[in-house]
Amino acid sequence: MIDKNFFIENIKTLFYAFLIAIFIRSLFIQPFYIPSSSMEPNLLVGDRLFVTKFSYGYSKHSFPFSPPIFKDRIMFSAPKRGDVVVFKTPADNRTDYIKRLIGLPGDQIQFINSNLYVNRSEIIKSRISKNDKIYCGDKTIDVFTFEETLPSGKKYITVYHKDFSFQNSDTFLVPKDHYFFLGDNRDCSKDSRFLTSVGYVHKDNLVGKAQFIFFSSDRSVGSFFSFWKWNKSIRFKRFFKKIR
């Protein structure tokens, strides 16, 4: 016969563990999974990474199911240009996206002949490879790989399709308290360039800053449970890789 007190104590332990997990996940650090190729080559499908929730302060989106407990953002610390950020898409305030922050409030962003301009100054990019292949959805495509350098001196890798499919745009003027995001896989990313689906992101929609990859696996090779394929499916070299 099962002791009633034993059953109750176990329920309490599970409940307290659940509360502690929610507390840590909401206020400190949360794991995220990369499901798409929009941030290749820096983030790959199958990467699992940690995001710090305290980096930019807290809003209702810091908590599971976005409960309306805050009207605005509290303890706000402004993100920096070049940060890789998880945010809730303005379209539904529910879906998590991860992109690179390019435009700050008041900035003017524009593409001219496939070159990125911020406040009418071209962001310098140096080509480091012209023979790379990356994913765009389910397809493998040929790309040019560049190192971009922001005015702050921050450097990161971007890729452009060889046909430079996104060449010119109108000028995007980032509103007050909003941010403009781009994917590093420039011609294969739904981001702030697409105003009806993503557009400008309000500061309250920021979830946290991506810090490092703690696990990575290539599901096209085999699932995690296919242990006989681990030597090919698990990307051991990406473990604990810092996100830049």
Matching residue, tokens 């794991």: 31
Pick the closest to residue 74 from 60, 84, 64, 88 (CA basis): 60
Q: Which residues partner with 181 through β-bridges?
A: 101
Measured in whole angstroms, how far is the alpha carbon of residue 242 from the centre of its chain? 13
DSSP 8-state assignment for residue 35: -
Tokens describing residue 18: 């659940």
Q: What gap in Å lies between CA 14 and CA 121, rounded to an integer? A: 55
Matching residue, tokens 């000028």: 171
| 157 three-state secondary structure | strand
**DSSP string for 149-175:** E-TTS-EEEEEEETT-S----PPEEPP
| 38 counts as catalytic | yes
Pairing of strands 29-33, 155-161: unpaired
| 99 counts as catalytic | yes
Tokens describing residue 238: 């990406």
The catalytic position among 53, 88, 99, 125 is 99
Pick the closest to residue 32 from 232, 213, 196, 164 (CA basis): 213
Q: What gap in Å lies between CA 27 and CA 111, rounded to an integer? A: 37
CA distances, 169 to each of 151, 157, 194 (Å): 21, 22, 11
The catalytic position among 36, 38, 189, 217 is 38
Q: Catalytic positions, please?
A: 38, 99
